[in-house]
Every structure is written in structure tokens, then in C-alpha cells.
Amino acid sequence: MKNTLITCILFTLSILASFNTYSADKILIFSAIPDQNQSQLNLRFNKIANYLSESLNTPVKYVPVKSYAAAITAFRNNQVQLAWFGGLSGVRARSLVPDSEAIAQGVEDTKFETYFIAHHSTGLKPSKHLPESISGKDFTFGSKGSTSGRLMPEFYIREQFKKSPSELFDHVGFSGNHSRTIALVQTGAYQLGAVNYKVWQNELKNGKIDTRKVSVIWKTPTYPDYQWSVRGDVDSVWGKGFKDKIKHALISMKDPELLNAFPRSAFITANNDDYLPILNTAKKIGLID
């Protein structure tokens, strides 16, 4: 009991001490939506952190998060100042942070696509439209907050069938991320899935996909997707012109090792208006009020 009393006092003090030990040197912290395997993301973004701290002459750190919502919240709460968002998560995040901006996107992100994939047992073949026979099957999206894994596929399903996914399919799941969607359809846990085309191509290239088990049956029309978004108040913390410095650093990224990690061929400038189509689509299917 004696010990406990002393411990209680010391314990309170040490908690207070530890919570106040953030460094005075301002670190630029960035995050990204967890759209694929965490180990790949860590590899990719730790490289980017090194690249950015060299180009910006400021310590830069990557913080992984577990969900799309957590990435948005961290951006909103100023716990990260820069983020690699998807189309939908970017629109949501920027609507919550005044003066925040989309500053750069991959060349491919201007014309992004979603692939609908199917397990071989369905017998479905590639076609011009979504086949009618997908109704009554088990279908998985990616994350609930994903553009290519949720928003766009749901939009095209509703447009063609005039039904919500839960009305059309027997089971509707949310796998969590694109890598997982591919794995789940490949093992037959779900018969159908919707997946980010870049992740599909990348995993195909890395030999992680068994094309006898799973194949692409339909490709959506193109839409704008991923982008780097930055908070409006970075200039006031790191000095005037800092936002432009970040933008410049991203766009002048030429190292193929860095670019292949995304994978993107290059980054180009972006602005908030590029993502109006995403905002409108999200409003149409009720994901944004």
C-alpha cells in the first residue's frame, strides 16, 4: 500500500512529463490513406519522407493510420499537415479544413479507373457493360471511404441497375483495402469485387495474382482520383512560400524508384476544382450531404 501511494504520485508526474515532450523543432508530418498493404505503404512513404526532408530542408515524418477516416481526422486536427488522399477522402478532408489545397496528382490520376473483378467459379467474361448476371452474387468493395473501391463502383452499379448494392447483391462486404479485395475474390470468399486499377496492375506485375482464379470483367469510365493535399496554414508555421516549396518538390520528383513505389509515372499540379466531379458523384449517391 505504501508503494502504491508513492507510485501514484510519480506515475501522474511522469504522464504529465511525457505528454509535454514534443520537440521544438517543427516536424512536417504527413500521412496517407491505407489503401493497400501496410508494409508496402511503409516502404513507399518512408522513402518519400527522406526525399521531402532533403528537398525542403526540414524534418519530415510519415505517420501510418489504420483507416481512411483516421487519415482525414489527422489532417483536420493538424496532426498531419500533408496527406496523400484518394479523390473522395481528399474532398472530405479539404471541406473540413479551410484554405486547404490539392497541390499535386499523379499523371495517371487524371484518368483513373476501377476494375470489377470476378472469381473463376462465376464463369463471367470481360464485357462492355456490367453483366446482368452479377445480381444475387457476393460482392466486396474496398474501404468504405475509398474512391476507386467504393464511390465510383457504387455509382456505376446504381446507374446501371437502379438499385443499391445491398439490394442487388446477396452479400456486400468492405474488404478494407485493394490488396485485400483481390485476395478475397481470388480465394472465393467473395465472387466479385471492385478494385483500384493501379493496385491491380502492380500486383499483377509482382506476380501476386493467379489469373486462373480471378480476372477483370469490366472497367469503369475514367475519373480523377489520388492527390497530395496540404493544409492552408503551413505557410504561417514554416514561412511564406512553404506550400509552393512542397508542391515544387513533389512535381520535380524524378527518381524512378520513388515514382514506381506509388506507382506513378510523374506528378503534375492539381487544384481543388479538379475534384468537383468526385464531389458531385458523392453527393448523388448520398456519401456527402
Dihedral sign from CA coordinates of 2, 4, 7, 13: negative
Residues with Cβ < 8 Å from 116, sequence gap 6 or more? 130, 134, 153, 192, 193, 194, 216, 217, 218, 219, 220
The 3-class secondary structure across 115-145, one letter per residue, is EEEEEHHHCCCCCCCCCHHHCCCEEEECCCC
The C-alpha atoms of residue 285 and residue 146 are separated, in whole angstroms, by: 14
Q: Which of 51, 131, 189, 285 binds another protein (CB under 8 A)?
A: 189
206 binds another protein (CB under 8 A): no
DSSP letters spanning 26-62: PPEEEEE---S-HHHHHHHHHHHHHHHHHHHTS-EEE
Nearest distance from C-beta of residue 203 to another protein, angstroms: 11
Identity of the residue, 94 or 264, whose beta carbon is nearer to another protein in the bound complex = 94
Q: Which of residues 31-90 bind another protein (CB under 8 A)?
A: 37-39, 42, 61, 63, 65-70, 72-74, 76-79
* Separation of first and last alpha carbons in the chain: 56
Site for another protein in 233-272 (CB under 8 A): none
Q: Which is nearer to another protein, 19 or 162 (CB)?
A: 19
203 contacts 264 by C-beta, under 8 angstroms:
no
Give the shortest CB-53-to-another protein separation in angstroms. 15
Grid coordinates 456486400 are at which residue? 172
User: Which one among 111, 163, 171, 283 touches another protein, defined by CB under 8 A?
Assistant: 171
- Shortest distance (Å) from residue 72 CB to another protein: 6
Q: Of 50, 54, 96, 255, which lies in the binding site for another protein, with binding defined by CB under 8 A?
A: 96
- Long-range own/partner contacts, residues 6-12 (CB < 8 A, 24 or more apart): none
Classify 13 as helix, strand or coil: helix
- Residue 3 touches another protein, criterion: CB under 8 A: yes
* 1 makes contact with another protein (CB under 8 A): yes
Q: Which has the closest alpha carbon to 125: 218, 221, 219? A: 218
Q: Which of 44, 94, 119, 198 binds another protein (CB under 8 A)?
A: 119
- All 3 cell numbers of residue 267? 506528378
Give, as ranges, the residues between 11 and 30 that touch another protein (CB under 8 A).
11, 14-15, 17-19, 21-23, 27, 29
Nearest distance from residue 102's CB to another protein, in Å?
18
Name the residue nearer to another protein (CB basis): 200 or 267.
200
Cβ 123 to another protein shortest distance, Å: 12
Q: Which is nearer to another protein, 157 or 183 (CB)?
A: 183
- The binding site for another protein (CB under 8 A) comprises 1-3, 5-8, 10-11, 14-15, 17-19, 21-23, 27, 29, 37-39, 42, 61, 63, 65-70, 72-74, 76-79, 92, 96, 119, 121, 138, 143-145, 171, 173-174, 176-177, 179-180, 183, 187-191, 287-289
